[in-house]
Amino acid sequence: MNAVAQKNNLLVVYPEQTIRANLLRCWNWFETKQQSRGAGEPAILAAVIEQVCSSHSVDPERVYVAGISAGAAMAVILGATYPDIFAAIGAVAGLEFRAADGLIAGLRAMRHGGPDPSQQGAAAFQAMSFGLTKKARRRMPIIVFQGDADSYVHPGNADQLIDQWAVTNHLLHGNNDTEPDTAGELTNGSVAGGYAYHKYTYKDAAGRLLMEKWMVEGLGHAWPGSPVSAPYADPKGPNASEEMWRFFSQTTAESLAAPTGLRALWDRSVGLLNGAVRYASELLGGKHS
């Protein structure tokens, strides 16, 4: 990420877990107390981002979250619990939102997958409700990388991630009466001297890029495209850091493109109405954090 940051004038923040909180220094994404807004690790990480944004010149519309393994699972949680901060998600060897409710369930999800993605997609949408009262958002783009030789996180978790966010984005856009589209457009490719991959592209109803899934042949539990070979880092690509920045840039530009005419008036009216309904629901339910 450092090379991408230097090339594109980005700030990259690397939060570190303490050994007291987790012996492997991993984020505790599998604990229910770490899966909600306003408490635990999500609140700590959100506060880190807010501190950086307050002390540096940062465009609030271009703040993203990405990670690998436990970091990817936590990135997914942050995208759902703080949609007012994050504009898109990047996940390498990640899992769907709230894929587990304890350590044993977490290990099981890593090996076999989590709960029904449709159920978790609705849960993620519900978790976004308070953040959406602070900043209206009708889409949460996500790019996913997964190795088919990953011995820690089963490749099926990548499919669940896409299916979950397809449902969440469907609900975000207000398409409650139809089924979300999970049929991606396939592009096959390979890295010179490296791995072959299968890239699936998913677009929204307006034809804009919304999600991507990269399934990489022969990649283990590692960040693809790292400049050097290391534990959990594989230089044989594709370059996840560069592809994430390309994806983030494109989806943000498309999200910020203002509709015109009657469509713009309609979108604003629906957005205001949805925000009012969500806020009323929060007040009635007593959920303010």
Q: Quick one: pLDDT band at residue 257, thresholds 50, 70, 90?
A: confident
* DSSP single-letter state for residue 230: B
Torsion of CA 218, 164, 80, 52, to 10 degrees: 20
Look at 265 and 141; give whichever has higher pLDDT.
141
Task: Return left, alpha or beta for 37; rule: phi > 0 is left, psi -120 to 50 is alpha, else beta.
Answer: beta
pLDDT value, residue 181: 67
Strands annotated E in the chain = 65-68, 89-92, 142-147, 185-190, 196-203, 209-216, 223-224, 233-234
Instruction: Confirm whether pTM is higher than 0.85.
Output: yes
Condensed to tens digits (0 to 9), the pLDDT of residues 237-248 reads 899 999 999 999
The rounded distance, in Å, linking the Cα atoms of 276 and 64 is 26
**Per-residue pLDDT averaged across 56-75, rounded?**
96
Q: Quick one: pLDDT band at residue 289, thresholds 50, 70, 90?
A: very low
What's the one-letter identity of residue 174? Answer: G
What's the one-letter identity of residue 159? Answer: D
The rounded distance, in Å, linking the Cα atoms of 138 and 146 is 26
Distance set, CA 123 to CA 126, 127, 164, 172, 272 (Å): 5, 6, 9, 12, 22
Question: Which residue, chain included where needed, has tokens 């587990």?
Answer: 100
Condensed to tens digits (0 to 9), the pLDDT of residues 174-233 reads 876 566 667 789 999 999 999 999 999 999 988 999 999 999 999 999 999 999 999 999
Condensed to tens digits (0 to 9), the pLDDT of residues 33-44 reads 999 999 999 999
